[in-house]
Amino acid sequence: QLWLYAAEAFTNTSQFTDAVECLQEAKTLTPSSPDIFYYEGLLLERQELLSDAIAQYQKALSIDCHHILSTIRMAMFYQRIHANLSSQTMLGNPSLSPVPTPSPSPKASPSISKPQIQISPPESAKERLSDSVNLFPTKTSPTDNSEAALLAENYLTSALRSDPTCHQAWFELGLVLKQNNDNERASECFLRAIELDKTTPVIPFSSIPREVL
């Protein structure tokens, strides 16, 4: 777990090379742990390699179908697709002003020689919009806003069935419901998330080593 926590810290500070090293060390200890695939997905997502990130989250779920963190990330992807489909609808309306597309940063991050985990130059918002709508195979791709929102809600309710005390899942579910204009249920989810967040430990109890005296 220490290698994974270190990888997460390096990922959050964009120290991708160090994050890869930590994940490789963790993989030598527990190569089939779903947590490893989750943190690899997180690293790839941070680099905007969205389809690769999804593949890692799906690997984690293939090992443990109740892996909470991977389930939440998958829901967030569908939520993003829902938001992007809505944005495309607005951009296609001639009565609305076009949304400016920011230019990519001129400086790209250096490449890493490690397999699978690579650093790519930042994409423009338009490229990310197109990619995120086509992340999934044709058979599972959401065809409209309501389908994408329903898939996101299903992932989150699945996560809450596994862990009803997960404040992050309640918060994300509230966002999905709010996007669907279900404000009453969204408010209930947000309130539940706030209540649970007050009692959530910084480090999960399940990660604390147990010793038999």
pLDDT, one tens digit per residue, over 130-179 is 444 344 433 345 545 678 888 899 999 999 998 999 999 999 999 989 88
CA torsion through residues 198, 199, 200, 201, sign: positive
Report d(CA 145, CA 176) in Å as an integer.
11
- pLDDT-based confidence at residue 210 (cuts at 50, 70, 90): very low
Q: Show Cβ contacts of residue 72 under 8 Å, excluding neighbours closer than 6 positions.
A: 155, 156, 159, 166, 168, 169, 172
Q: What is the pLDDT of residue 52?
A: 92
Q: What is the pLDDT of residue 204?
A: 55
Report d(CA 69, CA 58) in Å as an integer.
11
Q: Give the tokens for residue 199.
A: 């009692």
CA torsion through residues 162, 78, 193, 59, sign: positive
Kind and range of the H or E run holding 145: helix 145-162
Q: Give the tokens for residue 42.
A: 């997180």
Report d(CA 119, CA 59) in Å as an integer.
20
Task: Supply the mean pLDDT for the chain.
Answer: 74
The model scores a pTM over 0.75:
no
